[in-house]
Amino acid sequence: WVLMATGRSPTNIAVIKYWGKRDEALILPVNDSISVTLDPGHLSATTTVAVSPSFPSDRMWLNGKEISLSGGRFQSCLREIRKRACEFEDEKKGIKIKKEDWEKLHVHIASYNNFPTAAGLASSAAGFACLVFTLGKLMNVKEDYGELSSIARQGSGSACRSLYGGFVKWCMGKKDDGSDSLAVQLADETHWNDLVIIIAVVSSKQKETSSTSGMRDTVETSPLLQYRAQTVVPSRVLKMEEAIKNQDFESFAKLTCADSNQFHAVCLDTSPPIFYMNDTSHRIISLVEKWNQSEGTPQVAYTFDAGPNAVLIARNRKTAAVLLQKLLYYFPPQDKDLSSYLVGDKSIL
Ligand code: DP6
């Protein structure tokens, strides 16, 4: 017999960034972070996991190609889910798996990203969230999403925030074992539906410095990171929670842009410095800043992760349409730097 489960998880975009770990093995961050989860229709991972007594080992395929499961992050997720597996019975099919049997059974995992391959957008958040969620479903895990998020965190930090839709906070936690470092939902996917997200794909190249190694270098060398994590982020998180609750776009946009800029400042403060944004990214920032200034109140927020692609959050559909026109005017499609735009609102990208 073979038993299967399938799940889908979208990626999330941080508006208050996670950058820096206080524990590398458990993936515990130096500060809280807040994100918006996209609609699963776009930029999401779909994963099917199967278990059978005839499988001799654990195996995984990503976008149709077999990948190694030997990495510590995959192993942590598998181990933590297996620990919480519960008895399963399907009388019709004559399948009965006792709690202790799960340890001996092997899994086959097939995962697909619907990310445009050329987009160069991060996929580990959606991937690990989906892996943990689907394994949990297969193994009849009873734990709530918060607990599952702390397992997904051990695959990739940002993945813990993709267990929930809407607006999500990853609480850094205080405990050494990481049990209180998990995601909580601030508002569900129906909240603040006016927002529209446009992702401007500036470069489809793989990033030169991975988030994992980049943030390790930052922790080791940047004096600015301490100030950011201890002094700036705690009050910014409180203000961001208020802005989200009240759908206060002015505060939301100011905080989002400031936090993206400080994250990239911290990268620059790293030795050797890390440059994730390029000239096109800087031109997009100028365009948005000038527009916001001329309107007297922010129309669009920008945020950049560990790469040059711009995530632009417009206050409503009308503004998003104007933004798209501006982008197409200043960065016409023949401009090879800016290869495509992905458009949608925060829940329907
Ligand atoms: C810039 O979650 O990819 O996107 O925990 O080492 O896997 P690891 O890093 P990852 O880092 C994401 C960093 C970021 C900001 C964010 O998503 O908060």
Tell me: the pLDDT tens digits for 193-223? 999 999 888 877 766 788 999 999 999 999 9
Report how far residue 162's alpha carbon sits from residue 292's, in angstroms, rounded to the nearest whole number: 30
The answer, yes or no, to whether any atom of ligand 1 lies below 6 A from the CB of 252, is no
Average pLDDT, the chain: 92
pLDDT in tens, 76-130: 999 999 999 999 999 998 999 999 999 999 999 999 998 765 555 767 899 999 9
C-beta of 124 in contact with ligand 1 (< 6 A) = yes
* CA distances in angstroms from 235 to 32, 211, 238, listed in the order given: 11, 24, 5
Asked whether 260 lines ligand 1 (CB < 6 A), one says no
27 CB under 6 A from ligand 1? yes
Dist. CA 224 → ligand 1 center (Å): 18
Looking up tokens 């895990």 gives 141
Q: Is the CB of 292 under 6 A from ligand 1?
A: no
pLDDT tens digits, one per residue of 142-190:
999 999 999 999 999 999 999 999 999 999 999 999 999 999 999 999 9
Q: Which atom of ligand 1 is nearest to the CA of 215?
A: 6
**How many angstroms separate the CA atoms of 293 and 253, rounded?**
12
Nearest-atom number in ligand 1 for the CA of 212 is 6
pLDDT digits (tens, 9 = 90+) for 217-259: 999 999 999 999 999 999 999 999 999 999 999 999 999 999 9
The DSSP annotation for 136-181 comes to: HHHTT----HHHHHHHHTTT-GGGGGGGSSSEEEEE--S-TT-TT-
Q: What is the pLDDT of residue 277?
A: 94
Closest CA to 281 of 323, 301, 309: 309
pLDDT at 273 over 70: yes
What span, in angstroms and rounded, lies between the C-alpha atoms of 149 and 33?
A: 14
Tokens, residue 219: 């922790």
Q: Which two tokens stand for residue 192?
A: 């603040």
Beta strand ranges found along 149-277 (DSSP E): 167-171, 182-187, 196-201
Which carries the bigger pLDDT value, residue 332 or residue 45?
A: 45
Q: How many CB atoms lie within 10 A of CB 296?
A: 7
Q: Where is pLDDT greater, at 336 or 252?
A: 252
A 10 A CB-CB count for 282 gives 12
Q: pLDDT band at 345, cuts 50/70/90? A: very low
Which residue's CA is the nearest one to ligand 1's atom 7? 156
- DSSP states of 278-301: -HHHHHHHHHHHHHHHHHSS-SEE
How much is the ipTM here?
A: 0.99
* Beta carbons of 101 and 3 less than 8 angstroms apart: no
272 prior amide bond cis, ω within 30: yes
Closest residue to atom 12 of ligand 1, CA basis? 158
CB 300 within 8 A of CB 323: yes
Calculate how far, in angstroms, residue 345's C-alpha sits from the geometric centre of ligand 1: 22
Q: And the tokens for 233?
A: 């982020």
In short, whether 158's Cβ falls inside 6 Å of ligand 1 is: yes
Of the two residues 269 and 121, the one the predictor is more confident about is 269
Q: What's the CA gap between 274 and 276, in Å, rounded?
A: 6
Q: Which residues of 36-68 are buried (b: 16+ CB within 10 A; e: fewer)?
A: bbbbbebbbbbbbbbbeeeeeebbbebeeeeee
Please check the confidence at residue 341 and state whether its pLDDT lies above 80. Answer: no
- 152 touches 128 (CB < 8 A): yes
pLDDT at 119: 56
pLDDT of residue 114: 85
Q: Residue 181: phi, psi to the nearest 5?
A: -100, 90
Task: Give the separation between CA 89 and CA 259, rounded to whole angstroms.
Answer: 49
DSSP per-residue codes, 73-107: HHHHHHHHHHHH---EEETTTTEEE-GGGGGT-EE
* Cross-strand partners of 345: 196
